[in-house]
Amino acid sequence: MLLEVQDISMVFGGLAALREVSFSLAEGEILGLIGPNGAGKTTLFNVITAFLTPTQGEVRLAGKPLTGLRTSRITERGICRTFQNIRLFDQMTVEENVMVGRHCRSRAGVWPSVLRTGAQQKEEGAIREKTRELLSLVGLTGHDRELAANLPYGLQRRLEIARALAGEPRLILLDEPVAGMNDQETAEIAALIKKILGFGITILLIEHDMSMVMKVCDRLVVLNFGEKIAEGTPQEIQSDPLVIEAYLGREEGE
């Protein structure tokens, strides 16, 4: 198993945002994490990436526990993420955003950078090359020099994916990558997700768009009020009475 989430609980003050959630992901798999608003999905991402320290439980990557590691170390081990509320470096260019994403896969420190050593120059060239590649993968070629803040919303989401991919993750966490997009844009992102899978990268996907989730995911985990209420293939989930109730019970359902 590439990722194992075991008995994770996260309590904020009196509110239990996650209660003993466990599941795991196999290498190369795409798992959908779904559930109504406030179910605890983003909180789980924050726990996996050490933005939050869980009240209880353990996360393991390829068998090794991540407990106590800071976010940057977890990124180095191969988990990169995007954010539900886009968190690009708005005052940097598109290109620079992706180059920053490459940070954990490059090493030049202060002196090589100032002296412009051969190794540093080579590395910097490689960073630019990789950046070009990724920008073309997500369809941002030609926007390199624009400020991230000036990109339209849909392209910002793509840029976040490119930036996460620049860290060469083994596992990528996508938090609602198609939120607010129309059908065509959604289909394009779905295709992009398939491509990413094709590179052998494992994906954990949070998404409210059910038709897309059903289409791209191998398996689903359903959270409700911080608890895992179901796990299975899209077909199994669709007919699970608990899941239906969780969504209908909240009326809007999406």
Ligand X SMILES: Nc1ncnc2c1ncn2[C@@H]1O[C@H](COP(=O)(O)OP(=O)(O)OP(=O)(O)O)[C@@H](O)[C@H]1O
Binding residues vs Mg ion (CB under 5 A): 42, 84
Verify binding: residue 12, ligand X, rule CB under 6 A: yes
Nearer to ligand X (CB atom), residue 99 or residue 237: 237
137 lies in the site for another protein, by CB under 8 A? no
CB of residue 82 vs ligand X: minimum separation in angstroms? 13
| Residue 128 interacts with another protein (CB under 8 A): yes or no | no
* Greatest Cα pair distance in the chain: 64
* Position 22, amino acid: S
Tokens found for residue 84? 């539900």
Q: Please report whether residue 192 would count as binding another protein according to CB under 8 A.
A: no
Other beta carbons within 10 angstroms of residue 251's beta carbon come to: 7
Binding to ligand X by residue 38, rule CB under 6 A?
yes
35 binds ligand X (CB under 6 A): yes
Minimum CB–partner distance for residue 113 and another protein (Å): 3
Span 75-104, contacts to another protein by CB under 8 A: 75-76, 80-81, 83-85, 87-93, 96, 99-101, 103-104
